[in-house]
């Protein structure tokens, strides 16, 4: 099958078009013919080797963490889907590789794709929608009447998180550039902070939840926005000891992550708020709940640009410019 993969880690490591064997179908898997795959900042970080300490992939490594496609084969014991079903999902982080014509995925990591969106729109959702769900519903337990601040509201996670937070009954603030103010307001943001002209830490206060996806300086300054008892959830680090415990990473990595997160954890305690790091996980049941919201019109996909499969390298370069509104999608095949 055709796929785009790396053969070594590194910021300049080329993403190569390769002809690779079809993945092996194991019990509980389904084979999916991929029709579209979305790109995420995570793909660049994996290529760079940012997670190799706890995600030691084998080379060549096919990149890609989002997919939409058609089930073509069932593994032993797989009963949730039938051949021909249209599905979407985020594979388990140990089994990524959606920038390819085919993939084998645990059936528990997939859901039936929403029936009211295109295959490209479906592919744009799994990773960012699960991230938003796990941050706001599972981790922060957002309730009606609370105030939620979401950094980078015009990005992949931000565009979905704004819509989900509004659905949960929250007042939502976000940051974006001048050109994206209308976009984030159309998604439901009550307050749009233009980061080119305004300082969010001076504009906002008394928030219950902050979802951070930016750098360490922004993370620390986000504490000023929260009220006592609030919750700061970060998807960009630093990892904390709880994350190491969840993944059973052992004493050495737990110690490393404890040291890396010491500063923000100490600052959070001093401010009387809770800090947690979120590395989203695949979850087909949560994705099925998200499907219902998409089909109800609560969550609408936001796509910046669709690239043909042969231009995957160009799509990754466009991703790394950091200016996309919503998601970048690679179209791989027809339904």
Ordered alpha helix ranges (H), 102-215? 119-123, 126-133, 156-167, 181-187, 200-203
Model-wide pTM > 0.85: yes
The domain locations on the chain are 2-125+301-331, 127-277
Cα 199 to Cα 85, 218, 296: the distances in Å are 48, 11, 35
What residues pair up with 55 in beta bridges, in sequence order? none
Q: Which CATH superfamily is domain 2-125+301-331 in?
A: Medium-chain alcohol dehydrogenases, catalytic domain (3.90.180.10)
- Distance from first CA to last CA of the chain, Å, rounded? 17
pLDDT per position in the chain (335 positions), as tens?
Answer: 999 999 999 999 999 999 999 999 999 999 999 999 999 999 999 999 999 888 889 999 999 999 999 999 999 999 999 999 999 999 999 999 999 999 999 999 999 999 999 999 999 999 999 999 999 999 999 999 999 999 999 999 999 999 999 999 999 999 999 999 999 999 999 999 999 999 999 999 999 999 999 999 999 999 999 999 999 999 998 998 988 888 888 888 899 999 989 999 999 999 999 999 999 999 999 999 999 999 999 999 999 999 999 999 999 999 999 889 999 999 997 53
Check if the beta carbon of residue 45 is closer than 8 Å to that of residue 107. no
Handedness of CA 50, 54, 59, 63 (dihedral sign): negative
Helix, strand, or coil here: 321? coil
Q: Which residues, 6 or more positions from 332, have their beta carbon under 8 angstroms from its beta carbon? A: 34, 35, 36, 37, 69, 100, 101, 309
Distance CA 114, CA 315 (A): 25
Helix, strand, or coil here: 146? coil
Distance CA 94, CA 62 (A): 11
Angle formed at CA 37 by CA 35 and CA 39, multiple of 5 degrees: 165
Give CATH for domain 127-277.
3.40.50.720
CA 160 to chain centre: 10
Tokens 């700061």 correspond to 232
Angle between helices 126-133 and 284-295 (to 10 degrees): 100
């Amino acid at each position: 099958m055709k796929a785009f993969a790396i053969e070594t880690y590194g910021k300049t490591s080329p993403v190569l078009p390769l002809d690779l064997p079809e993945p092996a179908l194991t019990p509980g898997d389904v084979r999916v013919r991929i029709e579209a795959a979305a790109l995420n900042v995570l793909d660049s970080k994996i290529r760079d080797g940012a997670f190799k300490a706890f995600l030691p992939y084998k080379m060549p490594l096919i990149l890609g963490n989002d997919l939409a496609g058609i089930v073509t084969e069932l593994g032993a014991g797989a009963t949730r889907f039938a051949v021909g079903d249209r599905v979407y999902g985020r594979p388990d982080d140990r089994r990524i590789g959606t920038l390819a014509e085919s993939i084998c995925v645990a059936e528990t990591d997939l859901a039936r794709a929403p029936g009211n969106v295109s295959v490209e729109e479906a592919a744009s959702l799994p990773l960012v929608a699960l991230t938003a769900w796990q941050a706001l519903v599972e981790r922060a337990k957002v309730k009606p009447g609370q105030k939620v601040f979401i950094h980078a509201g015009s990005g992949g996670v931000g565009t979905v998180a704004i819509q989900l937070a509004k659905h949960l009954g929250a007042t939502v603030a976000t940051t974006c550039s001048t050109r994206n103010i209308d976009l984030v307001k159309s998604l439901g943001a009550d307050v749009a902070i233009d980061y080119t002209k305004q300082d969010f830490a001076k504009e906002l206060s008394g928030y219950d939840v902050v979802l951070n996806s930016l750098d360490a300086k922004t993370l620390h300054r986000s504490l000023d926005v929260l009220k006592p008892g609030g919750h700061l959830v970060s998807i960009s680090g630093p990892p904390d000891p709880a994350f190491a415990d969840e993944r059973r990473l052992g004493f050495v990595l737990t110690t490393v992550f404890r040291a890396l997160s010491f500063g923000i954890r100490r600052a959070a305690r001093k401010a009387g708020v809770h800090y947690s790091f979120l590395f989203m996980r695949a979850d087909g049941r949560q994705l099925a709940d998200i499907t219902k919201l998409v089909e109800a019109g609560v969550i609408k996909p936001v796509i910046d640009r669709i690239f043909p499969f042969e231009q995957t390298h160009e799509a990754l370069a466009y991703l790394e410019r950091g200016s996309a509104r919503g998601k970048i999608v690679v179209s791989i095949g027809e339904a």
